[in-house]
Structure 1
Amino acid sequence: MKDTMIGVDLAKIVRDWVIRFNARGPSGLINGKAPGNQGKLSDVHRQALAKIVESGPIPAVHGVVRWRRKDLVQWLFQEYRISVDETTIGRELKALGFAKLSARPRHYAQNEGDLESFKKSSPPHWQQSKAGSRRTSRLSSGGLSFCS
């Protein structure tokens, strides 16, 4: 049997443990979260992103009337030559404290005056029952009765 574990030398594993122990003590031996790749956006980029979202787009300049994630991806590439995914933009915006808002859809031919008059003149769909109108005995309702 070889002294390897799935292509990794056992001596290398022990050496890594010793290095981690010497650097951080016993807590260095606890497996933590892997550091992963460094993010593409720096703090300067995040501040610029927050500023542009706060100020909103200028239709004549940006060509849009509201920011979408795909528009912000394009803006970041044009300004800083950074290519990121829409998911990354969404995650960054959430971390910056922004929330996705959607306008409630309206029919293009909706008339506010007609809508208000309809609301005011329509009777409610429900009314409170009058006292005693729903009294029925359990025996007469068709259910089984048990006598002792």
Structure 2
Amino acid sequence: MANGGRLAVASAVGLRDDFDGSGLRRLARLSGDANQVRRLLALAVIYDGGARHAAAQVGGVGLQTVRDWVLRFNTSGPDGLLDGKAPGPRPVLGPEHK
């Protein structure tokens, strides 16, 4: 181990500062998407000073998933917590065959 026998611990990714816990709870009340609601509520726990493992319990997920949500939220705001639409299967026929 390179740190004199100690394990390296990754630092937590901070949340953007243009939102707060009460704002995320307000957005959760207005959202019609259940997955976005639980993600917003989980991040509200962190904004309110709660631990990441408490946010993971609220969201029903693991710590890595909470970290992924934080990264998505930091990049795209509340819309980043919506489920993306899967692209679906590739068409069998190409444009030249249609």
Q: TM-score, normalised by structure 1?
A: 0.22
Q: Which has the larger radius of gyration?
A: 1
Q: TM-score, normalised by structure 2?
A: 0.30
Higher helix share: 2
* Larger relative contact order, structure 1 or 2 (CA cutoff 8 Å, min sep 6): 2
